[in-house]
C-alpha cells in the first residue's frame, strides 16, 4: 500500500517533506487537506491531532512532524540519496540545521504572514517586528554557515536543505536577504534543485493566495510556466 501524504501545495512545511519525497522518488498518494472546511478539519484531526499539515500515513500508522516524517521515509523507504548523513557528527549537523531552519526561519515567517491575515485591531505589530529582527539574525547565522559550503550540512543535500528551501522562499519576499552573499547564492542553488522546482511548480496555482503575493517577484509568479 502506498504512503498517503496529507498536505497543501502552498504550505512551506508540506513543501519541506515533498522535497524529501521527490529527492528519492518515493511513491505516494497525494491528498490535499482543506483545513478551512470544518468537516475536513474534523476528519483530519484523527490523522494529525494538532491539525498541522503535513501528515504521512503508512497503513494504520500516522506520522506527524515534518522532521520525523523525513526520518521515517529514510528508515522505511530508503532511496539512493540519503538525507541524513551516515557519519554521526555530520548527521547531528544535518539535524541541527533542520531545527534551526524550522525554528528561526519558518516560525518567524508564519508569524509575519499570519499577522497579515488577522482582522484590523487584532494585529501584533510588536510581535511582527520581533519576528523580522529574528529573521535578520537567522540570515546572518545562515550566511556564516554557508561560507565555503554548498549545502547546509556540507557537500551532500540533506534534511536541512529540505527545511531551508521553502522557508527561505517565502521569507525572501518578507525580509530581503540584502547583504548576505552566501545566503543569496545558497538560495539560488536551492531554487535550481529539481525536487524544489517540482514542489514550486505544484504550488504556483496557489501563489495568488499567499498574503504577500503583492511582494512576489515575477520569476516566482511565473515559476515553471
Ligand X SMILES: N[C@@H](CCC(=O)N[C@@H](CS)C(=O)NCC(=O)O)C(=O)O
Residue numbers of the site for ligand X (CB under 6 A)? 11-13, 35, 51-53, 65-66
Q: What is the smallest separation between the CB atom of 155 and ligand X, expressed in angstroms?
A: 26
User: At how many degrees (to 10) do helices 159-174 and 107-117 cross?
Assistant: 40
Pick 170 or 180: Cβ nearer ligand X? 170
Q: What is the smallest separation between the CB atom of 114 and ligand X, expressed in angstroms?
A: 9
Pick 52 or 204: Cβ nearer ligand X? 52
Pick 99 or 132: Cβ nearer ligand X? 99
Q: What is the smallest separation between the CB atom of 4 and ligand X, expressed in angstroms?
A: 16
3-state SS class at 188: helix
Pick 22 or 111: Cβ nearer ligand X? 111
The DSSP output letter for 151 is: B
Q: How many H helices and E strands in the chain?
A: 10, 4
CA-CA distances (angstroms) from residue 99 to 16, 173, 200, 209?
12, 22, 22, 27
- Write phi, then psi, for 63 (nearest 5 degrees): -120, 120
Q: What is the smallest separation between the CB atom of 21 and ligand X, expressed in angstroms?
A: 14
Pick 180 or 196: Cβ nearer ligand X? 196
Give the number of C-alpha atoms closer than 13 A to the C-alpha of residue 123, restricted to the C-beta side: 12
Pick 41 or 221: Cβ nearer ligand X? 41
Direct distance between the N- and C-terminal alpha carbons of the chain, in angstroms, rounded to an integer: 33
The distance of Cα 120 from the centroid of its chain, to the nearest Å, equals: 28
Q: What is the smallest separation between the CB atom of 147 and ligand X, expressed in angstroms?
A: 27
- Supply the DSSP string of 65-124, one letter for each residue: SHHHHHHHHHHHS--SS-SS-SSHHHHHHHHHHHHHHIIIIIHHHHHHHHHHHSPTTS--
Q: What is the smallest separation between the CB atom of 215 and ligand X, expressed in angstroms?
A: 18
Amino acid at each position: 500500500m502506498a504512503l498517503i501524504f496529507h498536505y497543501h501545495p502552498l504550505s512551506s512545511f508540506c513543501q519541506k517533506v515533498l522535497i524529501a519525497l521527490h529527492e528519492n522518488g518515493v511513491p505516494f498518494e497525494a491528498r490535499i487537506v482543506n483545513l478551512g472546511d470544518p468537516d475536513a478539519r474534523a476528519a483530519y484531526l484523527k490523522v494529525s491531532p494538532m491539525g498541522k499539515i503535513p501528515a504521512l500515513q503508512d497503513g494504520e500508522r500516522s506520522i506527524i512532524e515534518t522532521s520525523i516524517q523525513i526520518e521515517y521515509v529514510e528508515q522505511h523507504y530508503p532511496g539512493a540519496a540519503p538525507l541524513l548523513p551516515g557519519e554521526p557528527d555530520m548527521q547531528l549537523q544535518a539535524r541541527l540545521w533542520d531545527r534551526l531552519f524550522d525554528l528561526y526561519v519558518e516560525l518567524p515567517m508564519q508569524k509575519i504572514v499570519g499577522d497579515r491575515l488577522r482582522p484590523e485591531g487584532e494585529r501584533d505589530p510588536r510581535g511582527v517586528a520581533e519576528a523580522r529582527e529574528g529573521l535578520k539574525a537567522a540570515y546572518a547565522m545562515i550566511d556564516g554557515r554557508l561560507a565555503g559550503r554548498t549545502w547546509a550540512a556540507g557537500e551532500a543535500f540533506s534534511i536541512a536543505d529540505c527545511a531551508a528551501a521553502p522557508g527561505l522562499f517565502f521569507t525572501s519576499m518578507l525580509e530581503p536577504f540584502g547583504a548576505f552573499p552566501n545566503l543569496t547564492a545558497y538560495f539560488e542553488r536551492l531554487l535550481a534543485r529539481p525536487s524544489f522546482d517540482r514542489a514550486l511548480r505544484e504550488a504556483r496555482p496557489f501563489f495568488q493566495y499567499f498574503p504577500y503575493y503583492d511582494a512576489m517577484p515575477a520569476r516566482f509568479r511565473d515559476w515553471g510556466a
